[in-house]
Amino acid sequence: MSPVTFAAAQCAIRAGDISANLTLHTQFMQHAREHGVGFLLFPELSLTGYEPTLAKNLAQDLDCALLAPLRQLAQEACMTTVVGLPLHLSNQEKPLIAAFILHPDGSLGIYTKQHLHPGEEHYFNPGKGGDLMCIEGLTVALSVCADFTHAEHPSRAAAQGAQVYATSVLIGETGHPHDSTLLQGYAKHLQMAVLMSNHGGSTGGWASAGKSAFWDEQGQCVATTTGTGNRLLIITKKTQGWKGVEEPLSVAPKVQAKVTPQQE
């Protein structure tokens, strides 16, 4: 069989600076392309940072024009890419936490976070999830952070035939032991591989743990990033099973970003 290559883009985001974050996403995508990645997963709200108080002003429409360069790169690389943005819908006052899916054929898909953490309801509305995807012959289900803390979410994905559960998250040091154990348990008991992409730096006042990871269908941790920072976790499935490696990503020095205050 031909190798199947997935990757988690663990990135350190600039708060509210979509332009700078687009540049960082492009660097990750280009690096992933060099390794033949067919599916690239970014963390929750990766293009804005996890910034609930700014989300309403930063929210984008379904036909988000600023994604055009990333969509073109996804096409050129034949790489399904999942990026995070708050989504504005005309019939809702508050935005949704969305994963925008950039398909290799140029089309755009949407997954919206179904389960909110306590307090998020002040800034966001819950979403409706999304459809399964077929990536290089494997069926993939998406999840955004708190979704996976509700056992029925991964269980439903497995029942629908998902072979990989890909979750975009923001997990801090305190919560990491519990959450990683939970994800590992899903992989083992549902016999469904799990890919987790975490933030690589602080965002929204939360210090991310990093440590993005991949567990195989037996619940074995195939690979994890070593702490925080901009790192690409590359996972390849070959005849003998899954193999993983992490690669640090060199980026321009981080500078203080200007953040637009939320309008009343």
Closest CA to 194 of 204, 181, 207: 181
Give the residue carrying structure tokens 């803390």: 149
Give the pLDDT score at 262. Answer: 35
CA-to-CA distance for 52 and 54, rounded, in angstroms?
5
Q: What is the pLDDT of residue 124?
A: 98
Ordered by where they begin, the domains of the chain are: 4-248 (3.60.110.10)
Q: In the 3-class helix/strand/coil scheme, how is the chain assigned residue by residue?
A: CCCEEEEEEECCCCCCCHHHHHHHHHHHHHHHHHCCCCEEECCCCCCCCCCHHHHHHHCECCCCHHHHHHHHHHHHHCCEEEEEEEECCCCCCCCEEEEEEECCCCCEEEEECCCCCCCHHHCCECCCECCCEEECCEEEEEEEHHHHHCCHHHHHHHHCCCCEEEEECCCECCCHHHHHHHHHHHHHHHCCEEEEECCCCCECCECECCCCEEECCCCCEEEECCCCCCEEEEEEEECCEEEEEEEECCCCCCCCCCCCCCCC
- What CA–CA distance (Å, rounded) separates 100 from 124? 16
Full pLDDT tens readout for the chain, 264 residues: 568 999 999 999 999 999 999 999 999 999 999 999 999 999 999 999 999 999 999 999 999 999 999 999 999 999 999 999 999 999 999 999 999 999 999 999 999 999 999 999 999 999 999 999 999 999 999 999 999 999 999 999 999 999 999 999 999 999 999 999 999 999 999 999 999 999 999 999 999 999 999 999 999 999 999 989 999 999 999 888 999 999 999 875 443 333 333 332
- Residue 186: CB atoms within 10 A of its CB come to 24
